[in-house]
Chains A and B, each alone.
Chain A
Amino acid sequence: MQESFWQKLQFIDRRILYALLLIVIIAPLFLPIRLPTVTMPSTQRLYDAIESIPPDGFIIISSTWSGGTRAENMPQTIAILRHAMQRRLRVAVFSFDVQGTQLSLDIAKRLAQEYGYEYGKDWVHWGFRPQAEVVMKSLVRDIPGTFDKDYDGKPTKDMPVMRGIRDIDDVDAIVEIAASGIHLSWIGLVVGVNPELKFGFCPTSVMVPETYPYLASGQIVGTMEGMRGAAEYESLLRKPGLASVGMGSISLAHVLVMLLIVIGNIGYFASRRRRS
């Protein structure tokens, strides 16, 4: 009898596996679990870069994502905006994606309220900008001209938030939150022009390997690697949020997968020993 239990371990019904997965994904939503956080150097570097910007510095946040990658990109957007507003930087948000425009606007409005940021004075949303490369080429030389109107069509010329901002040399940092490989265009067209400029990139987890070469060369100052990066950033900010909850779910799911692989192999060995 004992033997057959071990053998059964390799044929667990898939519905049991699916139920277990649902449990580990849902449970952390209601019972926040504390898991050890290890901060990756790339996340720390991004955090340090934002920390090093002088107060009243100017940061551009580009939010090129849509509902499909909300789980990963939304916490990243929140984390970076939160950090910028904690440090009282002047913030400009915009997006190369229609959906991302609305999503980032909602997030920014909420956080602006939390940190007492006044629209037009402390922050601005430049709205949706199609044709990324054209925009990038033009913002290098002329920022007020490139973003002459905000998301609502209001002229940005006289907004106090834009004071003293003429071209790329006046920008302290650009952070791109994206579900695509758009960092290549930033690196190719913008990053080299102002050597002081800090370019941060927040990709989804599948995109992460593509960032390694540029992190090594310093063209990307730091990254948030998908939801895990966002969770690490949240813990650096001491503001656990959606990513910390999500990482609980996702970590447990990984543990589940690994456990199941081990269990399956135990079953496989048990039946093989029996046969031989």
Chain B
Amino acid sequence: MEQLWQDFLSRPGVYLGAICTLALMSLIYRENAVYRFFEHIFIGLAAGFSIVALVKNILDPFLYQPVFQKGEWYWTFVFMFGLLFYFIHSRKYNWLSRLPIGFLMGFSAGQTFQIFANTYLPQLSDSFRPLYVTTPDGAVDIAKGINNFIFMLVLVSVMSYFFFSFEQKSRAIRSSAQFGRWVMMVAFGAIFGTTIMARMALLFDRMYYIFGDWLRLVR
């Protein structure tokens, strides 16, 4: 017992970490009092950490330091503007909170043009796939050509599935959309299959934490 206590004192983080791990893991059997207790601690710690992060990463460097260390006093207006959020609980002046909310909406919406251009335009030009491909030494690369053809076929048929307003009367569009849906299922299956590996690695890591780091039963 004495030895256990000494061991605990020498590495309390590992002990508490292991207890937290076991408590949360009990959820897979069923929701229980221990899980519930640790779930609340988890949320509490996370909320506390968010507050710390707010002070450390936002209020301090973006408000306190600029205003009181660099003299950029105009940030005060931003703070006052932000206070309007708190009118949300007022029955009569509730609408004032819509000003900062609207501002944030506009901010988020306004960035879409750049994000769209950055994300999708390179993908668009990359989709211009030649169906006739030659290797650097001049021979015809049939496999690459076929792959490019399949690429274009999949791209167009999946996109045809996402047309909402054209009534899918024509058989060509209907079967293209159906084919598109099937190909999407292949893609989703493949994503599912590749993800298993990463998740199992996480579980293995947890077990190694319990049996290796904590109990020291494994090397």
Is A205 touching B203 in the complex (CB atoms < 8 A)?
A: no
Is A26 touching B197 in the complex (CB atoms < 8 A)?
A: no
Residues of chain B whose beta carbon lies under 8 Å from any beta carbon of chain A? 28-29, 194-198, 200-205, 207-208, 211-212, 217-218
Can you list 23 A-B pairs, Cβ within 8 angstroms, ordered by A?
Answer: A21-B203, A25-B204, A25-B207, A26-B211, A29-B212, A30-B218, A71-B201, A71-B202, A71-B204, A72-B198, A72-B201, A206-B194, A206-B198, A209-B194, A226-B201, A228-B197, A246-B201, A249-B204, A250-B197, A250-B204, A253-B203, A254-B197, A257-B196
The digit string for A140-175, where 1 denotes a CB below 8 A from any CB of B, is: 000000000000000000000000000000000000
For residue A45, give the distance in angstroms from its CB to the closest CB of chain B: 20
For residue A173, give the distance in angstroms from its CB to the closest CB of chain B: 26
Known: A25-B207, A226-B197. 11 other contacts (CB 8 A): A15-B28, A18-B29, A25-B200, A26-B211, A29-B212, A205-B194, A206-B197, A242-B208, A250-B200, A250-B201, A254-B197
Q: Which among B28, B197, B204, B205 is the interface contact of A18 at CB below 8 angstroms?
A: B28
Is A226 touching B198 in the complex (CB atoms < 8 A)?
A: yes
Whose C-beta in chain A lies nearest to the C-beta of B210?
A26
A204 within 8 A of B: yes
Is B211 touching A227 in the complex (CB atoms < 8 A)?
A: no
A83 within 8 A of B: no
Q: Which among B29, B195, B200, B208 is the interface contact of A29 at CB below 8 angstroms?
A: B208
Whose C-beta in chain A lies nearest to the C-beta of B212?
A29
Residues of B within 8 Å of A246, CB to CB, are 201, 204, 208
Residues of B within 8 Å of A29, CB to CB, are 207-208, 211-212, 217-218
Which 7 pairs from chain A and chain B are nearest by CB?
A71-B205, A71-B201, A205-B197, A250-B200, A253-B200, A206-B198, A249-B204
Size bracket of the A interface: 20 to 34
Whose C-beta in chain B lies nearest to the C-beta of A227?
B201
For residue A13, give the distance in angstroms from its CB to the closest CB of chain B: 11
Q: Is the interface of A mostly helix, strand, loop or mixed?
A: helix
A139 within 8 A of B: no
Residues of A within 8 Å of B194, CB to CB, are 205-206, 208-209
A70 within 8 A of B: yes
In the bound assembly, the distance between CA atoms of A29 and B204 in angstroms comes to 9
Residues of B within 8 Å of A227, CB to CB, are 197, 201, 204
The digit string for A50-77, where 1 denotes a CB below 8 A from any CB of B, is: 0000000000000000000111100000
For residue A133, give the distance in angstroms from its CB to the closest CB of chain B: 15
Is A206 touching B195 in the complex (CB atoms < 8 A)?
A: yes
Is B207 touching A26 in the complex (CB atoms < 8 A)?
A: yes
For residue B122, give the distance in angstroms from its CB to the closest CB of chain A: 12
In the bound assembly, the distance between CA atoms of A274 and B83 in angstroms comes to 67
Is A249 touching B197 in the complex (CB atoms < 8 A)?
A: no
In the bound assembly, the distance between CA atoms of A71 and B206 in angstroms comes to 9
